[in-house]
């Protein structure tokens, strides 16, 4: 054992910004280079240092080379086995300091191991860091005549490297959880959106087709001409439904659905509302339509169309109404979409189904409100309010 302290102390004086820059550079390297590269560089430096001090080392050179190899191996294994690599490196560094020479390079290998223990050790093994780091530092300085503050300062640097690694691991784990939650929320929202689209498509189209088919069956003997018109409307309704279904399936495949001519398919909006009302009137429901609102943004325009579509479909299926009123009107800071009918209204204990739930979800996504229930003059009413662009949510 030597009688004097290390001529060059362990890298306790390395500035944290410089250490952080080095560690960031190491994290961007390919895995093999990140493991083996620093180990090879440190090994070459330690062997050069030992050759330069060959006269002092003398017959201990084989031990000095073996300890250098052990330190380099600990650096190479620091990510795959962080706790074991740090313990091996600490034992090698202590033997190096106590039996070979006061190296100015070997401590850097141990410092990398301290960081790796915090960064890659996981919640269990990384927690041993604050307990075993002081033992390693004490073993390095044991028996050396050094100022009292030097071991304390070196320990502070070692603990800082470990804490930086532990904090990085903890932060990355939190970010991974947040990304996973964001993906799950996005997938849930996408599933709900596609479910609404499928419900609107299937519910509206099938209800209308059933009404048309039933009317054609009842009239086929008495008014064949009217039956032919209804069957023609039934054919058109089925073709439109297939086109809409193709669009929804395009959403599932993450490809943009297109028309037969190759042009992108646009989701229906209020411009298509007269055609929708025409199909409903052919099915036997008389509709009064008033549109007194300025043009809406695309997403609100699609939402308003779907609200009217679902409300009229429910009227046709459930209310036994003869007449319905559709109103799109401007209100202070908002646009109101109202659909009411003169049917038998909601039954006792009425609970909203998927269609009305979908209307509420569509409105909520646009920071709007949705209400439904008995109309002021009987029947059933659906009332949706969408905030105007720029209005506070």
pLDDT (tens digit per residue) in 238-274: 767 666 666 666 656 554 444 444 444 457 889 989 9
Predicted confidence band of residue 11 (pLDDT cuts 50, 70, 90): very low
Residue 369, strand partner residues: 385
- Asked whether residue 142 carries a pLDDT value surpassing 80, the answer given is yes
The whole-chain average pLDDT of the chain stands at 81
Q: pLDDT tens for residues 37-47?
A: 888 999 999 99
Return d(Cα 203, Cα 244) in angstroms, integer.
Answer: 12
| CATH 3.30.565.10 given to domain 284-393 | yes
User: How far apart are alpha carbons 362 and 105 in whole angstroms?
Assistant: 65
Question: Alpha carbon of 51 to those of 54, 102, 228, 337: distances in Å?
Answer: 5, 14, 103, 87
Q: What percent of the chain is predicted at pLDDT more than 90?
A: 29
Nearest in space to 371 (alpha carbons), one of 361, 382, 355, 387 = 382
Confidence at residue 256, expressed as pLDDT on a 0 to 100 scale: 46
Give the domain ranges of the chain: 16-180, 284-393
Could you tell me the pTM of the whole model? 0.52
The pLDDT confidence band at residue 27, using thresholds 50, 70 and 90, is low
Q: What is the pLDDT of residue 283?
A: 75
Return the closest-CA partner of residue 317 out of 223, 212, 236: 212
């Amino acid at each position: 054992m030597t009688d004097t302290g290390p001529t060059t102390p362990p890298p306790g004086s390395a500035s944290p910004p410089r250490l952080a820059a080095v560690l960031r550079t190491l994290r961007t390297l390919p895995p093999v280079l990140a493991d083996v590269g620093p180990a090879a560089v440190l090994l070459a430096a330690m062997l050069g240092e030992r050759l330069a001090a060959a006269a002092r080392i003398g017959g201990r050179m084989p031990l000095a080379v073996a300890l250098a190899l052990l330190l380099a191996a600990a650096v190479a294994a620091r990510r795959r086995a962080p706790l074991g690599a740090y313990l091996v490196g600490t034992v090698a560094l202590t033997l190096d300091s106590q039996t070979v020479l006061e190296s100015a390079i070997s401590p850097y290998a141990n410092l990398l191991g301290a960081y790796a223990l915090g960064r890659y050790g996981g919640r269990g093994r990384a927690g041993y860091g604050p307990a075993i780091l002081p033992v390693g530092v004490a073993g390095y300085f044991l028996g050396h005549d050094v100022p009292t503050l030097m071991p304390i300062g070196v320990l502070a640097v070692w603990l800082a490297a470990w804490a930086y690694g532990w904090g990085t691991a903890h932060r990355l784990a939190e970010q991974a959880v947040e990304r996973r939650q964001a993906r799950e929320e996005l997938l849930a929202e996408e599933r709900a959106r596609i479910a609404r689209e499928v419900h609107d498509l299937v519910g509206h189209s099938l209800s209308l087709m059933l009404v048309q088919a039933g009317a054609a069956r009842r009239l086929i003997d008495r008014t064949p001409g009217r039956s032919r018109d209804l069957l023609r409307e039934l054919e058109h309704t089925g073709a439109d439904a297939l086109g809409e279904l193709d669009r929804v399936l395009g959403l599932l495949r993450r490809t943009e659905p297109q028309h037969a001519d190759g042009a992108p398919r646009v989701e229906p909006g209020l411009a298509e509302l007269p055609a929708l009302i025409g199909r409903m009137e052919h099915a036997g429901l008389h509709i009064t339509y008033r549109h007194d609102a300025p043009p809406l943004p695309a997403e609100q325009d699609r939402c308003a169309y779907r609200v009217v579509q679902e409300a009229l479909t429910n009227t046709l299926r459930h209310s036994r109404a003869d007449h319905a009123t559709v109103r799109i009107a401007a209100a202070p800071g908002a646009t109101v979409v109202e659909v009411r009918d003169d049917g038998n209204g909601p039954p006792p204990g009425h609970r909203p189904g998927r269609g009305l739930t979908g209307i509420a979800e569509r409105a909520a996504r646009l920071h709007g409100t949705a209400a439904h229930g008995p109309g002021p003059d009987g029947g059933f009413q659906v009332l949706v309010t969408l905030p105007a662009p720029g209005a506070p949510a």
